[in-house]
Structure 1
Amino acid sequence: MTRPSHRSPRVRHPLRARLARLAALVVLLGGLAAVTTAAQAAAPVNTAPPTVSGTPAVDGRLVASPGAWSPSPSGRPLGYAYRWLRDGDPIRGAVERSYRPGVADQGARLTVRVTATDPSDPGAGSGVAESAPTARVQRGTMTNRRPPVVIGEQRYERTLRVTAGRWSTTPTRLRYQWLRAGKPIRGATGARYRLGVDDVGQRVRVLVTATAPGYTRGTARSARTGPVDHRVGVRRVATYSIVTRGRIGVSVREFARQAAETFADPRGWRGGGVAFRRVPRGGGFTLVLAEASTVPSFSSGCSAEYSCRVGRFVIINQTRWRLATAPWRAAGGSLREYRHMVVNHEVGHWLGRGHAGCSGRGRLAPVMMQQSKGLDGCRFNPWPLRSEY
């Protein structure tokens, strides 16, 4: 006879249930670990570091290449984020693929940090890689993009001004040097320039130098102007020839050359619109270089002491041409200035001007004043006053 068991069959069920739950938990944990491992394995892996192309210079342009990365599990292209660093520190706002170094970057080395992600699987994680540092950032090049322009009328005594032009960056300092026939004009270093005697017949332009912190010095030239003209256009053309009288002990060639310089000078009668042209003989007047003793032969009103004008003859006393006069020398006038004065004075008579007196102590003497004899308190002056034109 079989004995009945004293254990209840229900006693074993809770234990089995617990064992089953434990087994399920182990399976679940194993699955989670597998998922985590798979996710970690799916994060992009850098196989070649990022690179930076371009010249590291202020206002230059650098472009980052993300380098090479393992393919994404989804097979879709990876997404890249960029962060530029200056000597290892992030640069505020520099999160684009390209970067223009600024003044603050000068002397520093730049790198780019690339973060790669799989856009189709954000939970897969990301990879980070950094480029090698660039060479130290050099100063930028100040480049002229629109040349300076000279503004104003190209005439004697007129004032010209120059624009600065346009540059690759705004200059903090501009310097000017005016040029005549390509050579610097002494003292002409402002943005404005008043055309002078030596500029007439020449071409004038400006050299502009631009500087700014972090940039090399930039230079640009304005276009050359046309030849600078006289104060007024030609209103009358006077022709003349040159002859001598008596024994001449000075260079007639030099006499002719210096007389022509006086006639062409913008401070002379040319400033009033009279242009002079030499002809072989005849002409409107004859310029005579005369031995002192022959001067009275032209008229009883002429003396051997001074120069004279008689009708169409403009007579220059050779002694005065060589030595000027004692009053002129005492006033500090040079021989070349006297020669200008005596030619202008005697030609002024031919042009119809009479003698004039000193208009006030310390003032310039009129050219039609008899300055060879004295100045009466005026200052010697080889050129016609504006009121004498």
Structure 2
Amino acid sequence: MTTPTARSSGGPRRGRPSHAVRRDRRRTGPLWGALAALAVLVGVGLVAVYTASSGTHDGPADARGEPTERARSGRLGATAPAHGSQSPSPSPNPVTAGASPDTGTSATPSIPATGPGTFVTAAGSSTRVGSGTVLRYRVEVENGISLSTADVARQVERILADRRGWTTDGHSAFERVSSGQADFFVQVATPGTVDRICGQYGLRTRGRVNCNVAQHVMVNLRRWLLATPVYAKRVDDYRALIINHEVGHFLHHGHVTCPGPGRPAPVMMQQIDGMHGCLPNVWPYDEQGRYLTGPAVP
């Protein structure tokens, strides 16, 4: 900016006394001081505005110059809890947690709705149990299911070898094999695959129950993992009921109903549809070797 006492050349105006220049300088001295102070204030203000506007990118800083917790949370997309409140707990996994409509439990394993329909056979074999005609069977688990075939095979072996099981009839014997000829297959599969295989023989399992069709003892993965409300805390027992009920069908046993209030429920009763006054029971025979049955279902 050009002052009244100077030209672009920087010299005094021609024809005026030199003291006029000095007099003008005395008058403009305070003005220069005011302008300088104003410039300093403006500069400080601009720095302050810039600093404030820049701070919105990194969040407010603490005494060490590090972003505060609220600022760090803001960059992560989180909302700081209200004063006096607790931080929210992590959300449960939407796939592996949540209330089960079948059991009412708070944690539900991941259960695929359907699978490829191909199976992995449990390796090895078992010793023969029971007397009479030997029925060889294979244990298979559908591909994509997070179950150990060896573990499933051990459970099935234990169930079929139990003294309360079908070998007590005196003419049924079982032996697990992993190759060669088999009389039936115990197959644990997703609900969709069970529906598909059972449906080929005219049975509707609706994604919730097991079945036996031809050589297939089809075990619904949902039932294997979750049981039913009656057996929600006794899942291993319910697995025995599944195997005994469906193998019972393979042995040509039909459905029966409850023989009376307070009596053991027969394994050939469809217990998933209600107990009808009977007590939970998962074995065809009792400890004394008596067959547990009831009135035949028409």
TM (normalized to structure 1)? 0.38
**Higher strand content, 1 or 2:** 1
| Higher RCO structure (Cα 8 Å, ≥6 apart) | 2
Q: Which has the larger radius of gyration?
A: 1
**Higher helix content, 1 or 2:** 2
